[in-house]
Structure 1
């Protein structure tokens, strides 16, 4: 206890010293304030437009001491892709995670998305999520960030001691603009219309950026704001729940066992996404040596949505006939005989769905005679989650009983219209025996099903002080050291509805009285009997009815203690780094020490329970670049890195399912992932805008987390006390290790004619051991990926076509092991330079409307067929 108190006092004293340093004239370190370290050798770039941005990006890579790739905006409001996530997929070693069309996370060099760090001007951003069914991760959601305010992006694939820890794969630093870097009275306005092919609605967007500075260029103000709307979503032919035998073999009829998913769904997810982003930056050069910058950012993302899902539920049928199984025992096709609620139309309406993040930074920099003091104090807050909503069940109108659990049918309920047949060898094919899915009058309300709401809060605060001593030495350029104190408080509150399932309260319970029409043209990329049309619920009419039920007190939300938790962390980091150079070489050598105190709070047996854990990490790093010639660089790196675990994995306590004798929870005692890694590569810059490079990298990973099931004694876990010692408990444990070996190849070139191309290929052999000691793929990682772009630019137009391809990868968060098939995507854009400062742009994303196809690996059956649709943007921008 005394040691912990001393640690806290040391941390608080360190924080005070950092604050004092800022008030005396400190600023953020080089990464936060200026991006890559300045280098007098960087070539002067005179060309404009896309060629200029590519040359700037290459210069960032070329003259960096570590392994870095960069993306540079052509000009204000001219980021090379529609959003930051789309742009990141163009970098070698990077693949992206798409859940609902737009990029939400990135995978770097064979590691999971949550093991990459996303920084804004070198600092962490608080993060929450709107998706209520997913884990609480540390990944900053890329859906929050519009591209208009971003001036450039750096991807650090090898660490430096000065850069904040926490990345196993790599660190992405998003850079924004400053007023003193721009011409006085610089303004940009833009407007656009967006359209998704799935829902064909025209949605507006607009952006503004204005920058002013005084005549002496000592004080400047920059303000920016953007908003963007898009009606989009996804359409999915999906399996629900894991795969298991839902009907045993019938010896009398000779039918084999029916093995597959609980049910099959025809899903149409429709969201009215709205994103806003605001920035205010004040910059003041108090003297030639003393600079202060105050930044404020606000990001908001609203995602009200409705998820229509027409379910054919094999496991609720009375029996299976015509069963055809494959060699693995999985049912490829079958006919399901009707039973009560073996067909369910399940619309889920969620109107309060959002996430928001704020960032406030005060940075400063003082340059003395042979030294530089820098520092930052700041905070970031985020709120998010999904609140309220409705999940209703509508079943065939001819099913016996007006509701599930109808007391008039104590011996069970039957159905005559709940039969269907299905095929699971490709995108799910379903044929209904008698029901007409497009006729709303053939459905009735059965129950309002339970669901979970969640509220998430994340607050971080940080203070940092750095000093750099410049040396007049033949070998050492400078010595830098610093200290950073960082706190992170994450909490999640979960709510269930009480009573959990509502039945029999709907007047005029036939769907015809609540229908908004018929959904048509679903699953356009999948042919056959795909249930591509069915009657749907009028979500606005229904939500007015459900809202009144809440107001009347008939529906009440109560805290779900099993999924409610918080994780509070205090982190103190110290580092020292030496930058060195000679006639043909340069680099840096450093070490970062970080200590973490983590307090996890949850519920056990209905009571508050918390556990505190301390751990520390020594993280050495070495980066070196050797000039084989003026244009040829040999580069090497070696380091040790760490990544902290997902917040949801750290929660204490258990969520107990009493009736079935199982429980699940987190593990506050998890140790962070650790990795020893090395890189070696060669880069040939055969013209100012051309590169041919190759690199090999390896990672050896410890403390891999797997979900492990064990039998334990847990009170109330089981329908009777004599079964409490047989509770099946699943929780994460550090039970494995992993390894990554990869190769990156890059080639890009631009001709004087304005034609150019960019291309890269990445091979990754990434695997980890599971709880049974078996080797398996790392979720989210593809073995092969390729990116290519061809462009043409002159004074009148800029045009580009881009292609992205990746091989199969394991699904993230699936109930059973799922593999997604190879995926490719075409994007294109063309900009007409009408006047010197006036541009008209047409952009298309996923032009061919590619789908993500996945399959279960145990039985080799279809899992999901996900269609995001194409997105189109028509916009105009003017700069003055």
Structure 2
């Protein structure tokens, strides 16, 4: 990756002008409709009765479809539907569902990645109703799925017997298009480019789909194929402190961070995907299909560290001050400070594909049968060579908290001069993960012909075989010989440039592209041997899991006091047989270790719906859900480290093949008011009661006569999580003229919960890590006269990331997070539209800290803002 000072940022001024212009346009999205040209457009059509008729297209059509899905569903569900073919408002699924009520996301590297539903991880991810995952994980990284391929995304918050188990928090089902979704020949092309502010790059985002259906003597056929390619050069800048430790050797009772430094993260992210679907309907009662999706995620990125070691110099050349009223360091001035410049180069490649064939058959009056078999393959290869270099800087001044962030001012020399640096150490890291599954299921529904309490019955079976394996290289660093200049390696002299002022704006850094492409040469210079570090057998595990499930459910309906009631009662029984293989490291010897286990779970569910009026629905559901342990947690291998002396306890670490699924009993109740086809208001209460929460703890174990303090995951704690949700959507269609194009969406979620930990009393009664108490979304909408606009603000309150991370009582806490994104589109004609998009319009600054933000800040991060321009054409 090339990123010299003179080359990578020379066009910044031009890019910033484009960005500022785009942001200004987006901020004025609601005002553009006031232009006089709007008043000259044709008014809304009128019906025979003289009342205005709203033509439902684009944003309105999407809202109407999502609302109908929610209203008709038996489960508690929220959906997001594409505005048009291939037109979702975001680049990936994780970004899209951030606006769903109760969904919280975390953004890193310029995009949303981690997804929580009502404050909880442990989601199941489906593609068209089938389980989809990434290598050894239980779910797929939703950011890896391009939004341009989607028809809609369904977020299930209550479970039913026919849904795959595995998501204690909920289920996210990603739906793609099929040829029978369209009337005939359809072709769509989306193309455009996005400019990113900090990286200073403009990258392409293109997708296309072609679909057709034919009527023949053999029945009706349909075929569809779609492709997508997205590239994103991104940038993220950080300034950091490490946790406070004792520094009283300099000042009495002084505490302070050991390191105060900078990180410049530069990445080149590429996502390519293809999907296909074939359908054949030989007659009205039979349909056969084949479909699949393949995606390739490639991320070449680097983290350039300026590792400030302000204490690593002569003590008599240091002076310090404390933050007033505390013993925590505020400012440290030092001289002749040894300083590390480190580049972490990364190349991450993930290929996932899933193919399925299946059919539907109306076998008899009221009897509908379906079956499907799917094959999923996922491979992840990664490289992460890390090279540290060292120099001595004459002057260093660090401030641990300057307006909420630290400041690192190093000078007295040219920090960009590579001749001042020597090699320090090399971390030679790489690995491979693999996952595969074969999944067969058969389902049936029988609808009763006579009116009565029972409306229909559903039943089904599933059999799946899942494999997961992982191995990586030995960890640890190799020191370089003393005095080897970095200039002895050609191609290793790069500089990194910060766009924000953190005290030091640029410095020499090893070239990440050279580290990745010429790792053997770097190994030779540091270790004297160009061979890669060996793979670590102790890191290896290979799991095989066979799952069998069957379910039955009954749809019932009755009327009481003139109020129709519907209910779906179900039971899912699931059995999992595991064959686990790992390696135990005893001293230097590798001992193969295996374990077989089996577990059977019963998952009842009940979903009830009362239609209080045609436009008012009340719901109540109760269900049991589970999330299985990660495959790495089930690793039967253990690494034993013997003590070198009698006063030091021997230690060990490993997985736990005896782990059971983490289960929950869930209660949901809601009231929904549908006052128009695109307008609704809802209020919901929910509670989850957990058993077997998985946590690491240290226990005494004896192996070969030696007692070890062994760290393993265990099913330990119980707990609960509860809260409330409120949501509202409307379009102001009755307002006159151009004002009738406005609409608004708003939702908010409150959650609170805790564990009751007997194994770890320090965590007992504390909220779940990663959970925000509050989150909300406010979205302003506009659609009329060919113009459509969306301005969406997403916010979540602070949350604890890690308890006791900085020491006893010092919890790592993330400050409130927010994002303002927008889009503005114009429909040129029936086949062509143009859209301007923007993300992170308020230039959000991420911060986190240990317990007290004024005393112990950790990271401050700045992300890209982006503006994109896209053309959509269809026939």
TM bucket normalised to smaller? 0.7 to 0.9
Matches within 5 A, 1:197-208: 197-208=197-208
**Does structure 1 residue 117 correspond to structure 2 residue 117?**
no
1:344 aligns with 2:334: no
Cα deviation, residue 627, structure 1: 1.0
Verify: 1:739 aligned to 2:746, yes or no.
no
Picking from 498, 507, 530, the partner of 1:554 is: 530
Alignment of 1:871 onto 2:842: no
Deviations along 1:121-148, one digit per CA (max 9) or x if unpaired, are: 01111313xxxxxxx6423101210011
For 2:108 and 2:155, locate their aligned partners in 1 and report how far apart those are by CA, in whole Å.
Answer: 22
Going from structure 1 to structure 2, the CA distance change for 1:854 and 1:210 (only over 3 Å counts) comes to: same
- Residue 651 (1) aligns with residue 638 (2): no
Aligned match of 2:824: 830
What secondary structure is seen at the aligned counterpart in 2 of 1:651?
A: coil
TM-fit CA distance, 1:511: 9.6
For the pair 1:474 / 2:452, whether they are aligned, the reply is: yes
Counterparts of residues 808-847 of structure 1 (less than 5 Å): 808-811=798-801, 815-816=805-806, 817-847=811-841
Q: Which residue of structure 1 lines up, in the alignment, with residue 50 of structure 2?
A: none
In the alignment, what sits opposite 2:42?
none
Alignment match of 2:469 (pick from 491, 514, 529): 491
Aligned to 2:797: 807
In 1, distance between residues paired with 2:709 and 2:412? Answer: 40
1:455 counterpart (421, 432, 443): 432
Q: CA deviation at 1:815?
A: 4.9
Secondary structure of 1:301's partner?
strand
Q: Displacement of 1:448 after TM fit?
A: 3.4
Q: Give matches, 1:199-598, under 5 Å.
A: 199-216=199-216, 218-240=220-242, 243=243, 245=245, 247=247, 249-250=248-249, 254-260=251-257, 262-314=258-310, 316-317=312-313, 319=315, 321-322=319-320, 324=322, 330-335=328-333, 342-350=338-346, 352-368=347-363, 369-387=365-383, 389-396=384-391, 398=392, 417=394, 419-424=396-401, 427-432=404-409, 434-436=411-413, 438-441=415-418, 443-472=420-449, 473-496=451-474, 500-503=478-481, 509=487, 514-521=492-499, 524=500, 529-541=502-514, 543-548=516-521, 554-583=530-559, 584-598=564-578
CA, structure 1 residues 454+265, in 2 after alignment: closer, same or farther (shift >3 Å)?
Answer: farther
How far 1:711 moved relative to its partner? 4.9
The Cα of 1:657 is off from its aligned counterpart by 5.9
- Check if 1:754 corresponds to 2:759: no
Cα deviations across residues 561-594 of structure 1 (Å, max 9, x unaligned)? Answer: 3322233211111100011223412120001011
In the alignment, the residues of structure 1 paired with residue 88 and residue 576 of structure 2 have an alpha-carbon distance, to the nearest angstrom, of 37
Offset, 1:731? 2.0
Q: CA deviation at 1:346?
A: 0.3
| Partner Cα distance (2:157, 2:689) in 1 | 15
Number of the residue aligned with 1:616? 600
CA distance in 2, matches of 1:269, 1:89: 24
> Aligned pair in 2 of structure 1 residues 728, 501: CA closer, same or farther (>3 Å)?
farther
1:602/1:609 contact within 8 Å kept: yes
SS of match in other structure, 1:89: helix
Residue 796 of structure 1, aligned match among 772, 783, 786: 786
Mark the CA change 1:511 to 1:455 in structure 2 (over 3 Å): closer, same or farther.
Answer: closer
> Which stretch of the first structure deviates more once superposed, 846-855 or 77-86?
77-86
The answer as to whether partners of 1:92 and 1:744 remain within 8 angstroms in 2 is: yes
Q: Using the TM superposition, name which of 549-558 and 696-705 deviates more.
A: 549-558
What displacement does 1:768 show?
A: 2.1
Q: Give the drift of 1:313.
A: 2.5
Using the TM superposition, give the Cα deviation of residue 864 of structure 1 relative to its aligned residue in structure 2, in angstroms. Answer: 1.2
Q: TM-score, normalised by structure 1?
A: 0.84
Contact residue 779 and residue 811 of structure 1 kept, 8 A: yes
In 1: Cα distance, 2:689 partner to 2:311 partner: 44
Show the counterpart of 1:602: 582
Q: Which 5+ residue runs of structure 2 have no aligned equivalent?
A: 1-52, 734-739
Provide Cα deviations, 1:136-172, integer angstroms capped at 9, x if missing partner. Answer: 6423101210011110111111111000001111111
Q: What is the SS of the residue equivalent to 1:148?
A: helix
Matching residue of 1:50? 59
Change (3 A) 1:366 1:813: farther
**Which residue does the alignment assign to 1:72?**
81
- Contact 2:426–2:477 (Cα < 8 Å) also in 1: no
User: Residue 172 of structure 2 corresponds to which residue in structure 1?
Assistant: 172
1:480-529 Cα deviation digits (max 9, x unpaired): 111101122111111137984444595654899843345142xx3xx6x5
Q: CA deviation at 1:452?
A: 2.9
For residues 877 and 553 of structure 1, do their structure 2 counterparts lie closer, same or farther at Cα, with a shift above 3 Å needed?
farther
Taking the aligned partners of 1:563 and 1:858, their CA distance within structure 2 comes to 37
**Secondary structure of 1:85's partner?**
helix
Q: Distance in 1 between matches of 2:398 and 2:848?
A: 21
CA separation of 1:822/1:544 partners in 2, compared to 1, >3 Å: closer, same or farther? closer
Deviation at 1:120, TM superposition (A): 0.4
Q: Spell out the pairing of 1:26-105 with structure 2 (5 A cutoff).
A: 47-105=56-114
Q: Secondary structure at the match of 1:57?
A: helix
Query: Which consecutive unaligned segments of at least 5 residues does structure 1 have?
Result: 1-43, 129-135, 399-415, 716-720
Q: Secondary structure at the match of 1:140?
A: coil
Distance 1:452 1:512 in 2: 22
Contact 1:321 1:334 in 2 (8 A): yes
TM-score normalised by the chain length of structure 2: 0.85
Contact 1:436–1:442 at 8 Å: present in 2 too? no
Q: Verify: 1:707 aligned to 2:696, yes or no.
A: yes
Aligned length: 787
- Does structure 1 conserve the Cα–Cα contact (< 8 Å) formed by 2:557 and 2:567? yes
Deviation (angstroms), 1:202: 1.2
Greater mean deviation of Cα atoms: 450-459 or 171-180: 450-459
Aligned partners of 1:326, 1:569: CA distance in 2, in Å? Answer: 58
| Root mean square deviation, CA, Å | 2.7
Q: Distance in 1 between matches of 2:444 and 2:848?
A: 51
For 1:189-212, what per-residue CA distance to the aligned partner results, in whole angstroms no more than 9, with x for missing partners? 121112211111111121110001
